[in-house]
Amino acid sequence: MTGEVQGDEGRGGHEVRGGGDETAIPVVTMVRPRWGDPARTTELPAAAAALAGGAESDRGVDPAAVAPPESRIGDELRAEIASVVGAEHVSAADDVRVQHTRGYSTPDLLRLRAGDAADAPDVVVYPGDHDEVVSILELCARHDLAVVPFTGGTSVVGGLAPDRSGASGVVSVDLRRLDRLLEIDDISRIADLHAGLRGPAAEALLREQGWTLGHFPQSYEGAGIGGYAATRSAGQSSAGYGRFDEMVEGLVLATPRGTVELGTAPRSAAGPDLRQLVLGSEGVFGIITSVRVRIRPAPSARVFDAWRFPSFADGATALRRLAQDGPLPTVLRLSDEVETALNLADPSVTGEIGDDASGCLVIAGYEGEDGEVARRRDAASAVLVDAGGAALGAAPGESWRTGRFAAPYLRDPLLDAGVLVETLETVTFWSRLHELRASVTAAITDTLTASGTPPLVMCHISHVYESGASLYFTVVAPFGDDPAADWASAKSAANTAIRAAGASITHHHAVGRDHRDAYHDEIGPLALDALRAVKATLDPAGICNPGILI
């Protein structure tokens, strides 16, 4: 058993070099409203530039020039907060508050690009341990201060914009100082991680001792462990490693009434599994300060293959066969015809497979021990061939693997060029998959076309299960007079279509504010009352992320 391992996210960032994969990605300090490393410049690929139509670039207002409303938390109350964490760990500076404003949905970014920081917290607090988090929550409850948990701040569903009604102010609790790998149990293959650890830092600390978490969402560069748990995050290797909520063996929750510790053993028949009540709770019951997670040996072999199928339906059938009967790759993804055409427009890929970008692209990735990877790859490839797939080789698969974290960087230059780009996702049973895809695509297309901004709608499957799969939509459209309002209408239409098809309103983006009404419809009034009763028990003053989820 290994003792505490120190991270350094709270002291300048944990950077990892080398490896050509996730271990080479550093923790970066992003500057809203733009994504990722501020020093990194991204040029639009030819296909994306064509969507922009040569429009003149407009980066929006300089975030350093954005002034939030005056803080409603005065010096006396700020001093009381400082008595808990230290004066150096409390800030009401404008630039700090702006950088804790909202999340990374396109509407969030459009508002900040226009200079709107109306949702900025009044104070940002940086607790150093679990007890300080509990004390801050108790203090905020006494003073009717709404509390927003903050790790990476990458929410795309309005999860960082609480309802301020009835609150005397808003406090952002930034967990970056809770940045340690606390313990590794090599025998049980579990690790205790602070919630403030960012994804790349956590992976680096585990890799130093030969382990991996295996959780790599596209927000990996910016997201953190606490956010993974609070939103039931699903990484791109979910077929092999599982969703994050499936990795969690235990957790510690700070609430205004004290501490809840859950996870005595891997499995238990001692009542309902309350871990699952906290996972996905989005900060409305309290703040997750640490998690105990399952870890795996770091892979010694990794290979990604690409396959072409004649249609989305053919590719989906192949994925279903692998999900239900195996063998299951570590990564399994199917792009529709539109997304495939854009993916294969990359010369580094088309140079390997020719000029034909038709059909639908499947990516199958394998990680693990050398012999095991080879056996699983051969067996899965046989299934893919039998299902009608044409092998494109490892080169386009590797191209996808090495570029998958670059995609979020494309949104900023597209927005600069007057092109709206946004995503949404859902999940359903295999038998309903194609109906759901058609209805959501039609809802988005019809709504934006009626607004005078006809969109390009792409879809892919990136998470599969024996009984169903997720659908992830990417929408690109020219700016209209009010792109935020246009997207709100399209999003509402998509939500309606999702619920009409009997699907879940979200697979891994969480509920936040954007999905709240549809989520209430999904679970029904009695279940909603049960959640409200839990909140009333743990957070009787209602200060924890009010208006989010419930």
d(CA 164, CA 410): 33
**CATH code (residue 423):** 3.30.300.330
pLDDT means per 10 residues in the chain (550 residues)?
Answer: 39 32 79 92 77 80 96 98 98 98 97 97 98 98 98 96 94 98 98 97 96 96 97 97 98 98 95 97 98 97 96 98 98 96 61 63 97 97 98 92 89 94 98 98 98 97 98 96 97 98 98 98 98 98 98
d(CA 12, CA 431): 49
Looking at the fold, whether 384 and 420 belong to one and the same domain comes out as: no
Looking at the fold, whether 419 and 503 belong to one and the same domain comes out as: yes
Domain limits for position 218: 178-297
Q: Is residue 539 part of a domain?
A: no
Q: What is the pLDDT of residue 43?
A: 81
Looking at the fold, whether 397 and 413 belong to one and the same domain comes out as: no
- What does the pLDDT look like over 42-86, one tens digit per residue? 888 777 777 777 677 899 999 999 999 999 999 999 999 999 999
Q: Is residue 69 part of a domain?
A: no
Looking at the fold, whether 279 and 336 belong to one and the same domain comes out as: no
Q: What is the pLDDT of residue 21?
A: 64
* pTM given for the model: 0.94
Residues with Cβ within 8 Å of residue 88, at least 6 apart in sequence:
none
Looking at the fold, whether 305 and 199 belong to one and the same domain comes out as: no
Q: Is residue 282 part of a domain?
A: yes
Looking at the fold, whether 508 and 457 belong to one and the same domain comes out as: yes
d(CA 144, CA 142): 6
Q: Is residue 162 part of a domain?
A: no
Q: Is residue 173 part of a domain?
A: no
Looking at the fold, whether 308 and 293 belong to one and the same domain comes out as: no
Q: What is the pLDDT of residue 357?
A: 62
Q: Which of 378, 404, 430 is the last residue before a domain boundary?
A: 404
Alpha helices (H) in 387-524, listed in sequence order:
394-403, 411-416, 433-450, 483-500, 516-523
**CATH code (residue 202):** 3.30.465.10
Q: Is residue 547 part of a domain?
A: no
Looking at the fold, whether 281 and 312 belong to one and the same domain comes out as: no
Q: What is the pLDDT of residue 16?
A: 28
Q: Which of 273, 297, 321 is the last residue before a domain boundary?
A: 297
d(CA 262, CA 278): 9
Nearest to 105 by CA among 504, 495, 548, 424: 424
d(CA 425, CA 441): 12
**CATH code (residue 400):** 3.30.70.3450
d(CA 401, CA 160): 30
The whole-chain average pLDDT of the chain stands at: 92
Looking at the fold, whether 387 and 451 belong to one and the same domain comes out as: no
Radius of gyration of the chain (CA): 23
Q: Is residue 490 part of a domain?
A: yes
- What does the pLDDT look like over 296-354, one tens digit per residue? 999 999 999 999 999 999 999 999 999 999 999 999 999 999 999 987 655 444 445 44
Looking at the fold, whether 492 and 430 belong to one and the same domain comes out as: yes
Looking at the fold, whether 188 and 282 belong to one and the same domain comes out as: yes
Q: Is residue 146 part of a domain?
A: no
Q: What is the pLDDT of residue 1?
A: 44
Number of domains in the chain: 3
Q: Which of 297, 315, 343 is the last residue before a domain boundary?
A: 297
Looking at the fold, whether 293 and 339 belong to one and the same domain comes out as: no
SS3 of 170, please? strand
